[in-house]
């Protein structure tokens, strides 16, 4: 087990003994996550893997401020999370685009909402559309784009707000395998080069795909079967820059995969043996 303390400076995200109990419609208590201890450093890319339904998304909603913990603490930049933090960006499996707005207007929406003057918002949006390879698509509507292109819009929409923290919940899982690998590479490039010489965003990336987790992350967090807590944290000592299609063929990658799978596979088996979910 790797001790989870950052080397110095204020950690970007801290979960300290955090837990979440939901009330089900029948009034019963359902523990989704428990005793979560995790620190994400500034500029660190952390991937979270765990069996289906274990509580990965719930962990993200606690960090996002969309839900409050019922136990323990969640801190961003050393302060308790109190509602949705302006420095946090999200990318989910479902695209959060406005279907009635053009691509450009979608990417401008965040800065406009934050009070950026129209001309500057347009300029920033155009710049991000260029960076994600969609400069020629600014006037299209979301339904006129492919799944991968819509995902690029979602990335531009998020990065245009210059988030210090990026929360991603299976952002590429609806894409085909090749597009997915391409998008992972693009994400790494955007993440590495986004903040003009400043430390990159701190990322928490939830995925079902262990290969994706290893290819992207500095550390991979394995969660237990639900109610989830941190089972083990694995540092990924693979050099950057990485290209996901080539890095996963490296001998070291395969060794890391085996090591993490021995921890994750056990939790997946427990979840399967219980059936789809767990009894709270």
Ligand X SMILES: Nc1ncnc2c1ncn2[C@@H]1O[C@H](COP(=O)(O)OP(=O)(O)OP(=O)(O)O)[C@@H](O)[C@H]1O
For ligand X, the binding residue among 16, 35, 53, 195 (CB under 6 A) is 53
**DSSP code of 114?**
T
CA dist., res. 153 & res. 159, Å (int): 10
Q: How many chain residues are in contact with ligand X, going by CB under 6 A?
A: 14
For ligand X, the binding residue among 13, 15, 18, 32 (CB under 6 A) is 32
**Minimum separation from the CB atom of position 68 to ligand X (A):** 12
By C-beta, is 5 or 24 nearer to ligand X?
Answer: 24
For ligand X, the binding residue among 34, 56, 150, 219 (CB under 6 A) is 56
CB 53 within 8 A of CB 65: no
Instruction: Please tell me whether residue 55 binds ligand X under the rule CB under 6 A.
Output: yes
By C-beta, is 58 or 202 nearer to ligand X?
Answer: 58
Instruction: Please tell me whether residue 226 binds ligand X under the rule CB under 6 A.
Output: yes
DSSP string, 202-225: EEEEE-S-HHHHHHH-SEEEEEPS
Instruction: Please tell me whether residue 26 binds ligand X under the rule CB under 6 A.
Output: no
Instruction: Please tell me whether residue 106 binds ligand X under the rule CB under 6 A.
Output: no
By C-beta, is 168 or 194 nearer to ligand X?
Answer: 168
CA dist., res. 125 & res. 106, Å (int): 9
Q: Find tokens 């303390």 and name the residue.
A: 5
Cα–Cα distances in angstroms (integers) from residue 237 to residues 99, 193, 219, 252, 258, in the given order: 41, 20, 9, 9, 14
Respond yes or no on whether the N-terminal peptide bond of residue 89 is cis (omega within 30° of 0). no
Instruction: Please tell me whether residue 50 binds ligand X under the rule CB under 6 A.
Output: yes
CA dist., res. 202 & res. 89, Å (int): 10
CA dist., res. 100 & res. 86, Å (int): 25
**Minimum separation from the CB atom of position 273 to ligand X (A):** 16
Binding segment for ligand X among 49-57, 72-80, 252-260, 261-269 (CB under 6 A)? 49-57
Q: Quick one: tokens of 112?
A: 């406009």
For ligand X, the binding residue among 54, 75, 116, 210 (CB under 6 A) is 54
By C-beta, is 52 or 178 nearer to ligand X?
Answer: 52
Instruction: Please tell me whether residue 24 binds ligand X under the rule CB under 6 A.
Output: yes
Q: Which residues bind ligand X (CB under 6 A)?
A: 22, 24, 30, 32, 50, 52-58, 226, 277
């Amino acid at each position: 087990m790797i001790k989870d303390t950052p080397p110095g400076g204020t950690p970007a995200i801290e979960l300290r003994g955090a837990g979440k109990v939901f009330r089900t419609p029948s009034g019963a208590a359902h523990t989704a996550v428990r005793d979560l201890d995790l620190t994400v450093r500034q500029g660190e890319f952390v991937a979270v893997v765990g069996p289906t339904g274990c509580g990965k998304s719930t962990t993200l909603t606690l960090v996002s401020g969309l839900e409050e913990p019922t136990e323990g603490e969640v801190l961003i930049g050393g302060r308790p999370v109190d509602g949705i933090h302006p420095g946090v960006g999200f990318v989910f499996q479902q695209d959060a685009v406005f279907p009635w707005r053009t691509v450009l207007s979608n990417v401008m929406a965040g800065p406009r909402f934050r009070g950026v003057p129209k001309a500057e918002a347009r300029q920033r949006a155009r710049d991000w559309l260029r960076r994600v390879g969609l400069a020629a698509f600014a006037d299209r509507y979301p339904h006129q784009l492919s799944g991968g292109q819509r995902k690029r819009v979602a990335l531009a929409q998020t990065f245009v707000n210059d988030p210090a923290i990026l929360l991603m919940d299976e952002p590429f899982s609806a894409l085909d395998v090749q597009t997915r690998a391409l998008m992972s590479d693009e994400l790494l490039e955007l993440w590495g080069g986004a903040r003009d010489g400043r430390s990159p965003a701190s990322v928490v990336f939830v995925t079902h795909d262990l290969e994706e987790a290893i290819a992207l992350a500095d550390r991979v967090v394995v969660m237990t079967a639900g109610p989830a807590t941190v089972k083990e944290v694995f540092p990924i000592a693979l050099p950057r820059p990485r290209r996901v299609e080539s890095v996963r063929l490296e001998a070291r990658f395969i060794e890391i995969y085996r090591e993490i799978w021995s921890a994750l596979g056990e939790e997946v088996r427990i979840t399967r043996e219980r059936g789809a979910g767990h009894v709270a």
